[in-house]
Amino acid sequence: MLVRSLAPVSSAVPSPFRSRLYRVTHNARASHTTMALNYARPIEIPPAGPHTSTFIMLHGLGDTGDGWSDIGYMFKQSLPGTKFIFPHAPRRPITLNYGMSMPGWYDIPSLEEIQRSEDAAGLRESQRYVEELVQKEIAAGVPSSKIVVGGFSQGGAVAFMMLRSNTKLGGIVALSSYLPLHKEQPVISESNEKTPIFMCHGDADQVVSFDFGQRSYQLLSSMGANVEFQTYLGMGHSACQREFDDVLECVKGWLGA
């Protein structure tokens, strides 16, 4: 089953696994420095048994945690000790969308300039927020090596930022995404040198190109990262059931489920 759902900017209510394609603009980037970022309480799906691990999944641009929360119920039976967390990105002006405000983990000036003009401050702030979620799980008694951070598109880029964390993680999942701030070293901290990474990408992706994802994989591989790249033929900037099955099997292996 292939799930494709591209919605216009005016769409107000996200659907499960929805991705959005926004118009490209070269207007000056909207400033985040003076705006307050408000983080709504994440969606949490408790484990079916004793809490031994946590999977944090970050949505893409314009979506909310609701858009991906179905995978928590989909994976729950196979990962009975895992708590699922689906955060909501704060609303912020997005230059790509003519400066209009929408849920986003960081600003994007245009699809063509994703890495030539990156919102480093926005990426670091989102990393800080995810670090905060990770620390709460550790404080609740979950070993950091049993915490997986994943994301789709923009969310995947923020998940990649967690490779820089000094906290050892159980794994990183990046769907239809890319490695951000790759020129700023180190991309991977000593703590996460061996952390497994699972990348998934459709070869028909019209938003984050397949070639872009492959180059990120090759860069990580050249750094000695423990990374795997899986291709999905004919899939655009979306997700499919086979991809979910592959992610589940990968995470089960990481968490020893």
Find how far residue 240's CA is from the centre of its chain.
Answer: 16
Active site annotation includes 237? yes
Three-class SS state of 87: coil
Residue in 153, 165, 177, 238 annotated catalytic: 153
Contact between 147 and 191 (Cβ < 8 Å): no
Instruction: Find out whether 156 and 89 touch, Cβ atoms under 8 Å.
Output: no
Query: Do residues 38 and 89 touch, judged by C-beta distance below 8 A?
Result: no
* Catalytic residue (one of 19, 126, 237, 238): 237
List 54's β-bridge partners, or say none.
Answer: 83, 147
153 flagged as catalytic: yes
Instruction: Compute the C-alpha angle 107/110/111, nearest 5°.
Output: 110
Cα end-to-end distance, the chain, whole Å: 25
In 119-165, the DSSP E strands lie at 147-152
Beta-bridge partners for 188: none
CA-closest candidate to residue 86, choices 111, 60, 108: 60
Q: In what order do the strands lie in the sheet with 197-202?
A: 43-45, 82-86, 53-58, 147-152, 171-175, 197-202, 227-232
CB-count burial class (<10 Å; 0-12, 13-18, 19+) for 166: exposed
Helices H / strands E in the chain, number of each: 5, 13
In the set 205, 209, 216, 238, the catalytic residue is 205
Tokens linked to 146: 């049993």
Q: Are 179 and 220 in contact (CB under 8 A)?
A: yes
Question: Which positions are annotated as active-site residues?
Answer: 153, 205, 237
